[in-house]
């Protein structure tokens, strides 16, 4: 019996692991979202970086960009920085801290939960943030990178 169950349990764990990995990666796959007032345009990864590191401050219609993020140790935040900005969380933190504590700029507003993020982006014109999936909200749309 043992010789039969062992490989089976091996498969079982392998499958469970794959499902788990799939589930976790899905759970934390970040999507950039904006308020529906944000102008449609071809945005690049460079644009997204410049926006989230607080260097690019205005949309093409001259409205000031309002940036919202989650806490540094939030898994979705880490995933967002790595996969959407192709940066490391410590690089982004360095940029924010340098501006915040030298008076040369300001950091994004930090929110606690995805629920708060939905509320903020839906109710703040010209805002940008990220979520694990785009909510069904007419004031929020996905921010596609080209």
Partner 1 sequence: MKIFVHSNFIKRLKAFIDRVSAAGEESGFGGFLAPESCLSNRAVLMGLFVIISPGAAADTKLLPEEFQLHGFMTQGFFHTSGNNVFGQSDDGISPGLTEIGINLNYQPWDRLRFAAQGLYRRAGDVDPGSVRLDYGLADFTLFEHENGKAGVRAGRLKIPYGLYNETRDVAFTHPTILLPQGIYFDRSRSLMLSADGGALYAEYRTDYGDFNFKLNAGMPSNELGEIKTVVLATNKAQGEFNTKPALAAQLSYELNGGEFIFAVSYMDLAFDYSPLPGETTFVGVPLTKSTTRIQPLLFSAQYNGENITLTGEYNYRWNNFGNFAQFGGGKFITESWYIEGSYRILPELQATVRYNTISIDKDDREGEGAELLGFPRHVAFAQDWVFGLRYDITPSWMVRAEYQLVHGTAWLPQADNPDPFKTRQDWDLYGLQFSFKF
Quick check: helix, strand or coil at residue 70? Answer: strand
Closest to 83 (Cα-Cα) out of 111, 127, 48: 48
Nearer to partner 1 among residue 22 and residue 88 (C-beta)? 88
Does residue 112 belong to the site contacting partner 1 (CB under 8 A)? yes
Sites for partner 1 among residues 23-62 (CB under 8 A)? 46, 49-50, 53, 55-58, 60, 62
Neighbours of 87 (CB within 10 A): 18
Options 97, 115, 142, 144; binder of partner 1; rule CB under 8 A = 97
Options 4, 42, 102, 136; binder of partner 1; rule CB under 8 A = 102
Options 30, 32, 38, 85; binder of partner 1; rule CB under 8 A = 85
CA–CA separation, 140 and 123 (whole Å) = 9
CA–CA separation, 47 and 133 (whole Å) = 21
Nearer to partner 1 among residue 123 and residue 133 (C-beta)? 123
């Amino acid at each position: 019996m043992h010789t039969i169950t062992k490989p089976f349990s091996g498969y079982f764990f392998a499958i469970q692991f794959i499902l788990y990995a799939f589930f976790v990666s899905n759970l934390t796959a970040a999507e950039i979202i904006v308020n529906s007032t944000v102008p449609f345009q071809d945005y690049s990864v460079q644009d997204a970086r410049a926006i989230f590191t607080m260097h690019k401050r205005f949309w093409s219609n001259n409205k000031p960009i309002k940036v919202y993020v989650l806490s540094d140790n939030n898994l979705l935040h880490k995933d967002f920085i790595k996969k959407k900005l192709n940066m490391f969380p410590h690089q982004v933190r360095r940029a924010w801290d340098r501006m915040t504590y030298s008076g040369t700029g300001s950091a994004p507003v930090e929110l606690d939960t995805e629920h708060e993020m939905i509320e903020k982006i839906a109710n703040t014109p010209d805002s940008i943030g990220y979520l694990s999936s785009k909510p069904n909200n007419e004031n929020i749309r996905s921010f596609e990178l080209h």
